[in-house]
């Protein structure tokens, strides 16, 4: 199917899921996860009206970014795990880092953003399951509290909310408790009205479970396969 048809179908599903729970579909961003996709495919998605894109590896995006620089108003988010030694490059290339998973990385990004003379939007990635393979701050880790408290000193970062990738379950309903958990955490943090912390964004939901995520309050669904089709074999799904 042409990308535009996929996008239309997904937008209709987003609207229906939002309506089911009395939400406005305009409050939900459809992020196109364009990792492993050739620039031509990404341009097609842009032509279909998409403006927010997620990439998971710094080097891959660096090699594509030149060709894509003509896409006006496109917003590039890093959604894959970022190693501190690539923070500088990431801060230069991306508008937002949605996968901040340690206070140390936040500090590095803050420094890099300051040097680049920009303010970077960031999300704190939370690990809601127990899988070894997934990135994110564990719920009971002191890192979360330390990062929240450090925010006022991180003047070149704006913490905008939370992101998660739940453990995979065949049935999308299996993800619901994890989405609920992330929303509850977001609500708890928001209620504290901490200095320099915004909690408007809840980035959760992918191709197979975005409707459940929307029912549980997601404000940004990260969709790859359902827009672009199956990724090339051998593509690495996670590390940046």
Ligand X SMILES: *Cc1c(COP(=O)(O)O)cnc(C)c1O
HSE-up (13 A, CA, CB side) for residue 155 = 4
Residue nearest to ligand X (CB): 224
Q: Which residues pair with 75 in a beta bridge?
A: 52
Cβ pair 172, 135 in contact under 8 A: no
Q: Quick one: which of 10, 14, 28, 33 contacts ligand X (CB under 6 A)? A: 33
Comparison of 156 and 207: residue with beta carbon closer to ligand X? 207
By CB under 6 A, is residue 224 in contact with ligand X?
yes
Comparison of 142 and 237: residue with beta carbon closer to ligand X? 237
By CB under 6 A, is residue 80 in contact with ligand X?
yes
By CB under 6 A, is residue 37 in contact with ligand X?
no
Q: Give least dist CB 123 to ligand X, A.
A: 11
Binding to ligand X in span 121-180, by CB under 6 A:
165
- Residue found under tokens 């937008």: 11
Q: Give least dist CB 34 to ligand X, A.
A: 9
CA distance 126 to 4: 32
Span from 3-11, 145-153, 184-192, 220-228 in contact with ligand X (CB under 6 A): 220-228
Q: Is 72 left (phi over 0), alpha (psi -120 to 50) or beta?
A: beta
Q: Quick one: which of 6, 34, 56, 219 contacts ligand X (CB under 6 A)? A: 56
By CB under 6 A, is residue 223 in contact with ligand X?
yes
CA distance 73 to 49: 11
By CB under 6 A, is residue 220 in contact with ligand X?
no
By CB under 6 A, is residue 222 in contact with ligand X?
yes
Cβ pair 32, 231 in contact under 8 A: no
Closest residue by Cα to residue 55 from 14, 116, 99: 99
Query: Could you tell me what percentage of the chain is helix, strand and coil, using 3-state DSSP and rounding each to the nearest 5?
Result: 45, 20, 35
Give the footprint of ligand X on this chain (CB under 6 A): 33, 35, 56, 79-80, 165, 206-207, 222-226, 237
């Amino acid at each position: 199917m042409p990308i535009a048809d996929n996008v239309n179908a997904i937008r209709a599903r987003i609207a229906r899921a939002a309506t089911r729970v009395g939400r406005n579909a305009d409050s939900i961003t459809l992020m196109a996860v364009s990792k492993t996709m050739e620039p031509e495919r990404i341009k097609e998605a842009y032509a279909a009206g998409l403006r927010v894109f997620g990439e998971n590896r710094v080097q891959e995006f660096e090699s594509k970014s030149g060709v894509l620089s003509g896409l006006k108003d496109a917003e590039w988010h890093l959604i894959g795990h970022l190693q501190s030694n690539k923070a500088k490059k990431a801060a230069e290339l991306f508008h937002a880092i949605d996968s901040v998973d340690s206070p140390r990385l936040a500090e590095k990004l803050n420094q890099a953003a300051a040097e680049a003379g920009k303010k970077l939007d960031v999300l704190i990635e939370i690990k809601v399951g127990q899988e070894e393979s997934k990135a994110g701050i564990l719920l009971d880790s002191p890192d979360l509290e330390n990062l929240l408290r450090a925010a006022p000193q991180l003047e070149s970062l704006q913490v905008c909310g939370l992101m998660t990738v739940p453990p995979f379950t065949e049935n999308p309903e299996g993800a619901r408790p994890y989405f609920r958990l992330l929303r509850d955490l977001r609500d708890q943090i928001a209620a504290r009205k901490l200095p320099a912390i915004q909690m408007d964004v809840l980035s959760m939901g992918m191709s197979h479970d975005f409707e459940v995520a929307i029912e549980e309050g997601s404000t940004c669904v990260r969709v790859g396969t359902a827009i672009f089709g199956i990724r090339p074999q051998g593509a690495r799904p996670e590390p940046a």
